[in-house]
Structure formats: structure tokens, C-alpha cells
Amino acid sequence: MIKIALFDAKPYDKPAFDRYGAQGGVEYHYFETKLTEETASLAAGYDGVCAFVNDDLSRPVIEKLYSLGIRLAVLRCAGFNNVDLQAAYGKIHVLRVPAYSPHAVAEHAMALLLTSVRRIHKAYNRTREFNFSLNGLAGFDLFGKTVGVIGAGKIGRAFIDICRGFSMRVLYYDKFAGEIEGATSVSLDTLFQESDVISLHCPLTEETDHLICAQTLAQMKKGVIIINTSRGGLIDAEDLLAAIKEKQVGAALLDVYEEESDLFFEDVSGHILQDDVLSRLLSMPNVIVTSHQAFLTEEALSAIAETTTQNAVDFFAGKPLVNEVCYRCESFGECKKQRKGKCF
């Protein structure tokens, strides 16, 4: 039996991980705490760790895990910006779930957009109080509007397909992707200038960190709607707040937030929120925040547990690690995986 310490465990993780673990010969031990330098020692005696988006896999944590004999970190997510891949290289193999349900995230992005433009969140609260007035609920059609998609990978493309279904004009900017039927590849400047709605679907990297900031917000159409279901760090939240106050941004629909790690996924309703920027954003009538829930569908949870378990099984069976990530693949476009089946 392969024993994996699964950090930041939530009740909704367990059914699928138990099911696929039993099928694959992997026993998951669930730790509610996040993986940090302080909690890394809990991994002693396990064959590997399983981490999620807000677990810390920085250099000190990697070194601590390595000293405990851990050689495998399976991420139950697609993004890996929380991992110091350079520190992990040569020590701990890092595998992820590159795709589980791009539709889950893309559909959530559209759910946020529709909620905002048709004021569903306000109508829901009103009718529960028997307030059937329509005053202030006028929205607008998406039909014929221009949407700009930044990052046209699996999720970005799924979102593009949905937008095309609404007969929107679709522009996209992607550093690497080729042509997409029914959508127009444009420069970032053009995308900022022409889009009524901008949706972020690129990874968080040094290059994309604070891609949405005062300078780029100023380039956008007045009243632009910004959707972020990718990573919080893509947006400078203080600059976004200022642009909302100036009415440069018409709505901000955020499933992720740059300082989310101590808040999102947790119930902190009995506490005083210390993050003034988030408090102020939440007080805005044109801001909708969901707490990193875009992935949360039954289909996605199943696919995540299945691939994560397969990743662990492949590692211990010495099979090629198709889902391994390393800094060399990321930085140099070359990696030993093609020749050796693993990155080192």
C-alpha cells in the first residue's frame, strides 16, 4: 500500500480520494492543516505528500520534506505557482493534474458573468424578502459584446466556446497558442482596448504577475468587466479597487484573490477580516467574490482524485511520469522527461 499524507483536506475531497485510492492501492491520510514549514514534519513515515493550491511548497518546505525521505509531491490541482520547482528539482518529483474539468472552471466564469450582468445575486436576495421590485436591476445583453480571453489553453478555449454560444465577438491573447476557430488572436494592447469583458485564463508566472494593474486598467474601456478564475496574483487588487472607485471597472468577478491563502476555503465568519482591500472589494455592489470554487464540481473532484492516484501509482511503479512538472520544462522548454520518462 502506498501511503500519502494529504494536506489541507476538506470533507468534499475524501469520497473520491477514498474510492480511487482503494482501487489503486493508495492509502490517503487526511490532514486538515495546510502544508507549511511547521506542519511538514507530519509527512514523516509517508511515501509522499498530496498538496492543494494554498499549500506551501517553497524551498524550506521542500528541504524539510526531502530530509524526511519524501520523494513525491502529487498536486491535486492544475496550477503549481505555489511550488518552488527549482528547489524541488533533483529532490522531489512534482506531479499535477493538468486537466480535470476545464468546463467546470469555464462554466463558473460564465456563471459569474451572467450573475453580474443580469443582477441575479441582487434579485435572489430581494425576492427572498418578498421584494419584487425591478428598480436598479437593469442589466445588458452579452449578445454582440466583445470578450477578451487572456490565456487560450484548456479552460480559456472552453470559455471561448461558451462565449461563442452567446454570439459574443471573441478576442484572445495567448503567448503560445495557435489559431482558434471563431476567435481572433490579438495583441494584449488591442485586447485591453476593445474588450467589454476580460477573462483571465493564463497561469501565474513572473511575467503575468500583476498583469492587471493601474497601467493596463487605464488602457481598458470604461466600465470593463474583469473575470478572474485563474490566480489572484494576476491582478493588483489595490489598483483594481481604485479603478472600481473611479468607475473605470464596471464589475470585478473574482474566484481568486492574491492574498487568499489564509481565507479562501475556510469559514472565518466569526472573525474580524484583517484584509482591508478584500473587505472594501466585498462592499462594492459590482464585485462578486467566490472563494476559489470554480473547480468544484462532482466531475472535477472525481477526475482530480483519479489522476492524482494514478500519478502516485505510476511513480512507485517506475512508469513514465506524464504529469510531472519541472523548472526546466517551464524555463527552457527542454526536460529529460521525453528521454527518461521523468524530469530527473
- Residues between 36 and 95 with contacts to ligand NAI, criterion CB under 6 A: 78-79
Query: Which distant-in-sequence residues (6+ apart) come within 8 Å of 32 by Cβ?
Result: 8, 9, 10
For 128-176, the DSSP string reads HTT----TT------TT-EEEEE--SHHHHHHHHHHHHTT-EEEEE-SS
E strand or H helix at 302: helix 298-316
Give me the active site residues, please. Answer: 231, 260, 292
Report the 10 Å Cβ neighbour count for 336: 14
Judged by beta carbon, residue 2 or residue 110, the one nearer ligand NAI is 110
Judged by beta carbon, residue 130 or residue 176, the one nearer ligand NAI is 176
CA distances from 9 to 13, 15, 39 (A): 6, 11, 13
Q: Is 295 in the site for ligand NAI (CB under 6 A)?
A: yes
The three cell numbers of residue 256 are 481568486
Q: Is 330 in the site for ligand NAI (CB under 6 A)?
A: no
Judged by beta carbon, residue 21 or residue 156, the one nearer ligand NAI is 156
Between β-strands 93-95 and 324-325, what pairing exists: parallel, antiparallel or unpaired? antiparallel
The site map against ligand NAI for 106-135 (x = CB under 6 A) is: ------------------------------
Among 61, 256, 301, 326, binds ligand NAI (CB under 6 A): 256
Q: Is 209 in the site for ligand NAI (CB under 6 A)?
A: no
Among 73, 202, 227, 278, binds ligand NAI (CB under 6 A): 202
Maximum Cα–Cα distance across the chain: 66
Count CA atoms within 13 Å of residue 55 on its CB side. 27
Angle of the 120-128 helix axis to the 102-117 helix axis, nearest 10:
70
Judged by beta carbon, residue 96 or residue 221, the one nearer ligand NAI is 96
Q: Is 148 in the site for ligand NAI (CB under 6 A)?
A: no
Among 95, 150, 170, 227, binds ligand NAI (CB under 6 A): 150
Judged by beta carbon, residue 70 or residue 162, the one nearer ligand NAI is 162
Contact residues toward ligand NAI (CB under 6 A) are 78-79, 99, 102, 105, 150-156, 173-177, 201-203, 205, 207-208, 229-231, 255-256, 292, 294-295
